[in-house]
Amino acid sequence: MKSYAVRNLRLCTKDCLCLYVCPTGATDTEDSIIDVDKCTGCGVCAESCPSGAITMMPLQLPPQQHKTEKVTAVLNLMSQSKAEQEKAALQIAKETEKDGLYRLMMAFARSNRIMAEDLLREAGYMLPQSSNAQDLLKSLIDNPPSPDFPVESAKKLLELIPCNDCR
């Protein structure tokens, strides 16, 4: 098996041909999310879907494109600026009683979070499966930043997610 089927509910027009063609019943689910455990990756659902709502997701993802140290460094500096702005916007929102300023600052916090996420993706943390992400989890398990750090969550993630580019 090289891939598995995922369904975009925004595109699904409930023609239900995927139910008709699926050999294992993986597409026949209560919550409309294709049952990854039953899916054999045969792809007939994606081929038969009239609204193009099903995509075959590769099981093994390729490694992220190489990032130079300089690119990583400038992107990191920018995500740090966005993180500081998120923090400042949340603080201003918390303290103000004005409705307009509150909404603007909450929107600023959200916007800065989205930009920081995007910058960190491009700085090497695109995939949960990447060795960068896995190394970070390992280092947090070995050296927790404080005693109440949720080490168990980090350990569980290492069990849940296989590495796609580890040697």
Partner 1 sequence: MKYRCNICGYLYDDSRQEVPFNELPDSWTCPLCMASKSQFTLLEEKKEEKPAEPVSIDEDAFELSAGQLSALFSNLARGAEKQYIPAAQKEFTVLSEWFLKAAQDNSPASIEDLAEYLSNDINKGYKDIDSIATADSDRGALRVNVWGDKVTRMLSNLLERYQSEGEDFLLNTEVWVCTACGFIYPGDEPPQICPVCKVQDWKFEKQERRKA
Positions in 20-59 near partner 1 (CB under 8 A): 33-34, 36, 57
**Near partner 1 by CB under 8 A: residue from 62, 145, 147, 167:** 145
Longest dimension (CA), the chain: 59
Sketch the per residue contact string, 89 through 108, with partner 1: x for CB under 8 A, - otherwise.
xxxx-----xxxxxxx-xxx
156 scored as a contact of partner 1 (CB under 8 A): yes
Contacts from 64-70 at CB under 8 Å and sequence distance 24+?
64/124, 64/126, 64/127, 64/130, 64/132, 64/165, 67/122, 67/123, 67/124
**Near partner 1 by CB under 8 A: residue from 21, 42, 83, 163:** 83
Output the smallest distance, CB 160 to partner 1, in A: 5
Q: How many other C-beta atoms are found inside a 10 Å radius of the C-beta of residue 95?
A: 10
25 neighbors 81 (Cβ within 8 angstroms): no
Closer residue to partner 1, CB minimum distance, 14 or 160:
160
Output the smallest distance, CB 21 to partner 1, in A: 20
**Near partner 1 by CB under 8 A: residue from 17, 41, 42, 111:** 111
- In a 13 Å sphere around the CA of 167, the CA atoms on its Cβ side amount to 0
21 neighbors 74 (Cβ within 8 angstroms): no
Size of the site for partner 1 (CB under 8 A): 73
**Near partner 1 by CB under 8 A: residue from 136, 141, 163, 165:** 136
Output the smallest distance, CB 70 to partner 1, in A: 5
DSSP conformational letter for 5: E
The b-or-e profile of 98-115 (16+ CB within 10 A means b, else e) is eeeeeeebeebbeebbeb
Output the smallest distance, CB 85 to partner 1, in A: 5
